[in-house]
Structure 1
Amino acid sequence: MIPQEIIRRKRDGDELDAADIRSFIAALAAGQLSEGQIGAFAMAVWFKGMSRAEIVALTLAMADSGDRLQWVDIDRPIADKHSTGGVGDNVSLMLAPIAAACGLAVPMISGRGLGHTGGTLDKLESIPGYRITPDADLFHKVVKEAGCAIIGQTGTLAPADGRLYAVRDVTATVDSIPLITASILSKKLAAGLETLVLDVKVGNGAFMADRGQAEILAQSLVEVANGAGVKTSALITDMNQPLADSAGNAVEMRNCLDFLAGRKRDTRLDIVVFAFAAEMLVKSGVAASPDEAEGMARQALSSGKAAEVFARMVSMLGGPADLIENPDRYLARAPVEKPVPAARSGWLSACDARGVGVSVIDLGGGRRHPADRIDHRVGFSELLPLGTRVNAGEPIALVHAADEAAAERAAAALAMHYRITEDRPELTPVIAGLI
């Protein structure tokens, strides 16, 4: 196999056969390709696309590049959820323990921030001691005993995807439907899932800004996953503003802990969390209807059972056992916190969600290069939702920054990302469709 020939053929629009794709991915996993070759392949796919057969071959090759997990000694349905990425999207952190508290086993393989979007692993790394890459035995033990485990890719689980994922992040090839499909599903196939629910984001803060493109991606994911034997559905959700009222790492983790502990509720976040919990429970056969499933999920949260599951997962993976009760003892705070005043009176009517995500990166809360270190303390909290009436000078958010200069820049940038109008806006529903 000559890598540059495969790259050239894809660059020229040829359809690659499964053997060539397997050879290329095997070389990638073995460390035999340069970052330049990986980036060139990703860019060729971005421009020329892939047929459904090519996507299936790429997905299976990446899934087979490492180990496949087995759950034969767990008598719960094996289920998971995955998001295509958004801003202020910390749904997985609440959803996994809620689903586990309702009787599912959730081995959740998550990723880091990609482009302007936040990453579940980066948020979890704000917890002191939390092991995002446990060995296979510990991962299995946590899923079996706690009910869920949220971890990153180990070196033996779809290793080809891990390297390709990092290169895509810095080569402007994130928003490729074939690459997104293969990246997501290779991890899920390797994780040994029985059912999967996908959150396909659409809007200015998503990789798919266009509804039609989001539906194409959702259809690709659902068809490829179901074709590989995993019962799969997808919800299309709105990403034209941050989903939670926080964007960053430690600030989103604090938001998650407050949600699980019942200290706060966020309407948009509530809607998405319970919609996905219901879909997971119905898809897995635990509940007979969405209404029954949502009732089960709400009871798991209000009873404190979901919080107990999360606490046990964190403790078993090396984090503090009392994290939910004492978040301020463990989650580092930025030295500077600065309110962002509304520029005028009126209604918050539009948001550049992508710009908010980029501003988090500018604060140091994301990466421009794969090796960049993240400042987990920084970001935004207390973000007001669209449709809120504000007066000039009232805070629309709180900046968390490493120093005064960074806080000033971030506050000015965030104010520019929101539009305030005299007329109350018509808001789009957070759940846009089901595939």
Structure 2
Amino acid sequence: MNILTLINKKKYGHELTREEINFIVDGYTTGVIPDYQMAAFLMAVYFQTMSISEISFLTEAMLNSGEIYDLSAISGFKVDKHSSGGVGDKVSLIYAPLVAAFGLKVAKMSGRGLGQTGGTIDKLESIPGFRVEISFAEFVKIINQTNLSIMAQSHNIVPADKKIYALRDATAIVDSLPLVAASVMCKKIATGSDGIVLDVKCGNGAFMKTISEARKLAQIMVELGIKFNKKIDAEITNMSEPLGRTIGNAIEVYEALQTLKGQGPADLTYIVCESAALSLYQAGLFPDLDSAITACQEKLQTDEPLNYFRSFIKAQGGDLTFIDNDLPLKDILKVKNIIEIKAKQDGYMAITDTNELGLLAVRLGAGRTTKDEQIDYHAGIYLNKKTGEKVAIGDVVMTLYTNRYVTEPIYEWVEQTFKIVSIKPREQELIYEIIQ
């Protein structure tokens, strides 16, 4: 087989066989196929898409490129959760200690930021000393001690996806449906959990822009999960505006801590409880989803989830000062430049471009524009006003945190993300659908 032939085959929309996909994945993983040829193949996939069979073959090929974890040394029901990516999405940071407080075991492998969306690993690395690169043996040990662990992809597990994941980010093809589905599911299956919850986001701030796109992605991933004998549910959630009030890394950990203390924003708390309830229901701890949701809401009003989060951070080397000292946000971030964006008229806040808000955070230093770029953990955005909230002229609607030199275009970029309107915007649904 020849990579040029296969690039051409996919470029013209022809279906690839299992053997051909194995050849491409193995060749790229071992370095025989270089970045520029793999990028050309991925771009062909982006424009021509893949059949269900091809996506299944791609998932298998990436899964078989490395180790598959055996979690039998961990007693109890093992769970995992994945988000397809959204601006301000820090749900996993709260979901994990919340379900751990009910006795479930969270064995989660997470990724870094893609495009305009942040990554759970980047957020955790904003905690001084926190280690995301740990061995499988330590991963198991920490879960047995604290009921949860979140680690970065190791070099031994789905190495093909690790390389492709970084290349997708650097070539603007992060929103390809077949590549998203295969990437998510190869990691979820390789990690070895019993139950999986998928948060498939749609809207302006997500990779999937419409409910129909999100539904198609969710159905593909659920089908893949069933094929590999997993209990799996998917929820389609609204990402037409950022989740919560923060966008960045350390700033999102700060908001996650507030939520674990029972003081989080309503939209974030709602999504967290729905996601956690699905895992609790999968584990058979509650007879129905409604009772599981109520239990989650009540649990967040106790100290238990925060204590599990604290134990997990300590076990992976994190400095607990960030958690134990109730510092104001400006003292946590300590950036050179804090920019307050003020309303120029009375009315109601309307966030109009969540995608651009995510890109603005990247420009402030909170994300990457190349796969090797270093991020600034303290850069980010705080939304003083969210859609539907009343605004008076002169009110601060948004605060930007950055260590970069501030130039005039920053204000132009900000103005693309919101409007002050005279009529209060209609409240939108947060969860459109659950696929079980």
Please give the TM-score of this superposition, normalised by the length of structure 1: 0.96
Q: 2:150: which partner in 1?
A: 150
Matching residue of 2:390: 389
Query: CA shift at 1:232, angstroms?
Result: 1.2
CA offsets 1:266-302 (integer angstroms, 9 cap, x no match): 0110110001011111122222212221233234322
Q: Distance in 1 between matches of 2:398 and 2:90?
A: 18
Shift of 1:336: 2.0
Q: In 2, Cα distance between the equivalents of 1:52 and 1:194?
A: 23
Deviation at 1:410?
3.6
Letter in 2 for 1:281: L
Residue equivalent to 1:348: 349
Question: Residue 114 of structure 2 aligns with which residue?
Answer: 114
SS at match of 2:334: coil
Describe the shift of the 1:328–1:409 C-alpha distance in structure 2 as closer, same or farther (beyond 3 A). Answer: farther
Structure-2 change in CA distance of 1:383 and 1:33 (3 Å):
farther
- For 1:405, what is the secondary structure of its paired residue? coil
1:213 deviates by 1.0
Q: Helix, strand or coil for the counterpart of 1:302?
A: coil
In structure 2, relative to structure 1, the CA distance for the partners of 1:424 and 1:61 (3 Å cut) is: same
Does the 8 Å CA contact 2:78/2:193 hold for their aligned counterparts?
yes
Counterpart CA distance in 2 for 1:158 and 1:384 is: 41
Q: What's the C-alpha RMSD, in Å, of the aligned pairs?
A: 1.7
Residue deviations 1:49-81, cap 9 Å, x none? 111111111101111111111111222111111
2:84 matched residue in structure 1 = 84
Quick one: distance in 1 between partners of 2:411 and 2:327?
A: 24
Alignment deviations for residues 165-204 of structure 1 (CA, whole Å, 9 cap, x no partner)? 0111121211111100000000001000211111111111
Name the CA distance, whole Å, in 2 between partners of 1:383 and 1:411: 16
**Alpha-carbon distance change, 253 to 409 in structure 1, aligned in 2, over 3 angstroms:** farther
Matched residues in 2 for 1:428 and 1:348: separation? 14
CA shift, 1:21, in A, is: 1.1
Cross-structure match for 2:39: 39
Preserved CA contact (<8 Å) 2:84 2:201: yes
Q: Deviations over 1:101-134 (max 9, x none)?
A: 1121111111111111111111111111111110
Gaps of 5+ in 2: none
Match of 2:141 in 1: 141
Alignment match, 2:338 = 337
Aligned partner of 2:252 in structure 1 is 252
Distance of 2:359 and 2:405 partners within structure 1: 19
**Do the aligned partners of 1:127 and 1:331 also contact (CA within 8 Å) in 2?**
no
Query: What are the within-5 Å matches in structure 2 for residues 27-426 of structure 1?
Result: 27-262=27-262, 264-326=263-325, 328=327, 331-403=332-404, 405=406, 409-426=409-426
CA shift for structure 1 position 227: 1.7
CA distance in 1, matches of 2:135, 2:101: 24
Report SS of the residue matched to 2:322: coil
Q: 1:103 & 1:427 partners in 2: Cα distance?
A: 35
Q: Secondary structure at the residue paired with 2:323?
A: coil
The answer as to whether partners of 2:365 and 2:404 remain within 8 angstroms in 1 is no
Offset of residue 307 of structure 1: 0.9
For residue 371 of structure 1, report the CA deviation from its aligned partner.
0.8
Provide the C-alpha distance between the structure 1 equivalents of 2:361 and 2:276, rounded to a whole number of angstroms: 28
Does the aligned pair in 2 maintain the 1:312–1:321 contact within 8 Å?
no
Q: Is the 8 A contact 1:69 1:192 kept in 2?
A: yes
Deviation for aligned residue 1:338: 2.3
Helix, strand or coil for the counterpart of 1:268?
A: helix
1:332 and 1:339 map into 2 onto residues whose CA distance is 15
Shift of 1:411: 4.7
Q: Following the alignment from structure 1 to structure 2, what is the Cα–Cα distance between the partners of residues 298 and 210?
A: 29
Corresponding letter in the other structure for 1:282: Y
**Could you tell me how far 1:223 is from its partner in structure 2?**
1.2
The amino acid that maps onto 1:243 is L
Letter in 1 for 2:296: A
SS of residue matched to 1:377? coil
AA of the residue aligned to 1:380: I
Report the residue type matching 2:355 in the other structure.
R
Equivalences for residues 13-24 of structure 1 within 5 A:
13-24=13-24
1:98 CA drift (Å): 0.4
Which SS does the other structure have where 2:180 is aligned?
A: helix
Unaligned runs of 5+ in 1: none
For the residue of structure 2 that corresponds to 1:235, the secondary structure is strand
1:364-413 per-residue CA deviation (whole Å, 9 max, x = no partner) reads 1111101111011111114422110101110112111115625x654553
Distance in 2 separating the partners of 1:404 and 1:341: 20
Q: Which moved more, 1:336-345 or 1:62-71?
A: 336-345
> Percent of aligned positions with the same letter in both sequences?
35
SS of match in other structure, 1:116? coil
Say if 1:327 and 1:8 are closer, same or farther in 2 by CA, change over 3 A: farther
2:291 aligns to what SS in structure 1? helix
**Is the 8 Å Cα contact of residues 108 and 151 (structure 1) preserved in structure 2?**
yes
Q: Which runs of 4+ in 1 moved over 6 A?
A: none
Q: What is the alpha-carbon distance in structure 2 between the residues aligned to residue 405 and residue 8 of structure 1?
A: 45
8 Å CA contact 1:343–1:415 kept in 2: the answer is no
Contact 1:307 1:324 in 2 (8 A): no
TM-aligned CA distance change 1:244 to 1:411, over 3 Å: farther
Tell me if structure 1 keeps the 8 A contact 2:107–2:149.
yes
Task: Give the Cα separation in 2 of the matches to 1:409 and 1:268.
Answer: 31
Amino acid at match of 2:323: I
Work out whether residues 247 and 380 of structure 2, in 8 Å CA contact, stay in contact via their aligned partners in 1: yes
Kindly provide the amino acid, as one letter, of the partner of residue 374 in structure 1: I
Report SS of the residue matched to 1:324. helix
